[in-house]
């Protein structure tokens, strides 16, 4: 299979990214990509070690003259969020990504691209495979299953990394050095499905909400994008009151950290109410388009007749469920009072799935303040529990507290300014990064996070800027050349 990225600059990094896209790597099912990386390490005579969770570290000695420099670990996660365009059935477990070049961007055909965080792995591989780049002793840490709860980093062995300097390449804006991030936690709700017989004299409709941008629930949560689940629920809530519809199912959302871009529900409409129902959906569609005209220009809401379902929800259960969905929050809950423009706390209404015996709901809470994070979890749980659900949360992951006195940060700023003639932006972000967990296991680890320009990650619109990737590569190469002696940093 040809590599459509092989001739892009930097050739070393884009070659490996192009190769990596050929291998399936959904979260928890990265085995084919792992085999590719392991085979590559063996071919290049590099030391490879794995921990019990399957996290991989690959080591390369320093180049001549750099032996007394401090060792550096390049870190990224191997898995990716797998999302296909609406109406596209894509076998992510057995097929790679079809990457292509569009001007100054790399995109994927009908799917997410996986540059989050494949470009980090590719840059690390390119550095370790290089023959002419001066560098200290290097490690490449490839973590597993970052996108579904950072479980690879959570279970990372505490004796795998030998370096005490770490460059995470999982940020998405060039020229920004991230030195801290929010912590996160996932909260589930389980509603026991209460069924009622399908009544006569009703017509079945499928209501669909689609065409939304979706996006990363950490990076884009404050961008004003619509949530398909919340829009669909708004329609159902009004249609129940005005047309006495009966709901059979409710489905939408794909990942805990992705803003839902599509959702659907099969409903029954009493005969004689079809026209009123269709007009209501049309009116609400126009209302939503006006409300989101700048952020969601492609939103599409429709109701089409469909086959009669085998069951409907009992009326009392239906009303409790839809009311709780209306009540539970989505989006930014508090901006930081200390850091201008930083989202301090948020929640993502992420997934609703109607199963055989239950309606399953997944939400995700983030905050740079642990007590606020737990408070939001409690609020979300309370909304669902009042409607009869049982709830539970996972252990989550800690915030990465910034170290403004970081020596690696100081060096990075100096190198960046000398190379590009301007200061980098130093920031704390709302999205979760593995650095918090790594720092929790390796006390004293000096870390920064960088990355090229990426947009619309976790969605089929994801794209990676080529020219930005080249600049980040050049910075990284220069940074490694300037790592001080062991006794200096």
* Cα torsion angle, 88, 92, 95, 96, sign: positive
Let me know: does 171 contact 271? Beta carbons within 8 Å.
no
Our answer to whether residue 370 is catalytic in this structure is no
Q: What angle do CA 420, 426, 431 make, to 5 degrees?
A: 120
Scan for tokens 């794909």, then name that residue. Answer: 254
Give the whole-angstrom CA distance, residue 43 versus residue 472.
27
Give the whole-angstrom CA distance, residue 445 versus residue 179.
12
Give the whole-angstrom CA distance, residue 249 versus residue 242.
19
Q: One of 19, 79, 296, 434 is an active-site residue; which one?
A: 79
Let me know: does 451 contact 431? Beta carbons within 8 Å.
no
Report strand pairing: 138-143 vs 251-252: unpaired
**For residue 95, which of 169, 27, 149, 24 has the smallest C-alpha distance?**
24
Q: One of 146, 170, 174, 462 is an active-site residue; which one?
A: 146
C-beta atoms surrounding 371 within 10 Å: 7
Give the whole-angstrom CA distance, residue 459 versus residue 325.
24
**For residue 414, which of 451, 443, 452, 448 has the smallest C-alpha distance?**
448
**What are the residue ranges of helices labelled H in 244-314?**
274-291
Our answer to whether residue 79 is catalytic in this structure is yes
Lookup: tokens for 476: 């990284």
Give the whole-angstrom CA distance, residue 13 versus residue 15.
5
CA distances from 61 to 67, 140, 236, 363 (A): 8, 12, 61, 44
Residues with catalytic roles? 79, 146
């Amino acid at each position: 299979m040809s590599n459509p990225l092989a001739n892009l600059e930097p050739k070393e990094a884009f070659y490996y990214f192009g190769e990596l896209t050929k291998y399936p790597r959904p979260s928890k099912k990265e085995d084919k990509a792992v085999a590719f990386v392991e085979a590559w390490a063996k071919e290049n005579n590099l030391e490879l070690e794995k921990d019990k969770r399957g996290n991989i570290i690959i080591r390369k000695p320093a180049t001549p003259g750099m032996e007394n420099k401090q060792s550096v670990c390049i870190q990224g996660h191997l898995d990716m969020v797998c999302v296909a365009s609406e109406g596209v059935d894509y076998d992510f477990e057995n097929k790679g990504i079809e990457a292509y070049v569009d001007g100054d961007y790399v995109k994927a055909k009908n799917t997410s691209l996986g540059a989050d965080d494949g470009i980090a792995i590719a840059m690390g591989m390119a550095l370790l495979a290089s023959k002419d780049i001066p560098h200290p002793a290097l490690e490449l840490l490839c973590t597993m299953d970052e996108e579904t709860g950072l479980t690879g980093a959570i279970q990372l062995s505490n004796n795998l990394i030998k370096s005490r300097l770490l460059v995470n390449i999982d940020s998405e804006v060039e020229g920004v050095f991230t030195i801290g991030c929010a912590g996160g936690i996932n909260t589930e709700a389980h509603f026991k499905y209460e069924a009622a017989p399908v009544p006569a004299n009703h017509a079945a409709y499928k209501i669909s909400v689609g065409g939304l941008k979706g996006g990363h629930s950490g990076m884009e949560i404050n961008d004003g994008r619509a949530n398909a689940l919340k829009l669909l629920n708004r329609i159902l809530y009004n249609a129940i009151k005005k047309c006495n519809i009966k709901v059979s199912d409710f489905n939408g959302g794909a990942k805990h950290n992705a803003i839902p871009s599509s959702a659907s529900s099969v409903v029954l409409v009493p005969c004689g109410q079809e026209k009123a129902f269709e007009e209501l959906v049309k009116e609400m569609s126009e209302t939503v388009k006006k409300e989101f005209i700048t952020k969601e220009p492609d939103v599409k809401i429709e109701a089409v007749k469909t086959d009669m379902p085998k069951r409907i929800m009992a009326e009392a259960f239906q009303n409790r469920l839809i009311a709780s969905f209306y009540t539970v929050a989505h989006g930014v809950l508090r901006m930081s009072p200390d850091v201008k423009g930083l989202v301090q706390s948020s929640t993502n209404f992420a997934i609703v799935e109607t199963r055989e015996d239950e309606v399953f709901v997944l939400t995700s809470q983030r905050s740079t303040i642990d007590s606020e994070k737990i408070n939001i979890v409690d609020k979300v749980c309370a909304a669902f529990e009042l409607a009869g659900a049982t709830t539970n949360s996972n252990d989550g992951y800690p915030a990465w507290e910034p170290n403004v006195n970081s020596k690696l940060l100081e060096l990075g700023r100096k190198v960046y300014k000398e190379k590009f003639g301007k200061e980098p932006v130093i920031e704390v972000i709302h999205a979760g990064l593995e650095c918090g967990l790594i720092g929790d296991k390796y006390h004293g680890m000096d870390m920064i996070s960088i990355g090229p320009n990426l947009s619309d990650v976790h969605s089929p619109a994801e794209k990676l800027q080529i020219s930005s990737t080249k600049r980040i590569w050049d910075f990284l190469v220069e940074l490694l050349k300037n790592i001080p002696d062991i006794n200096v940093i």
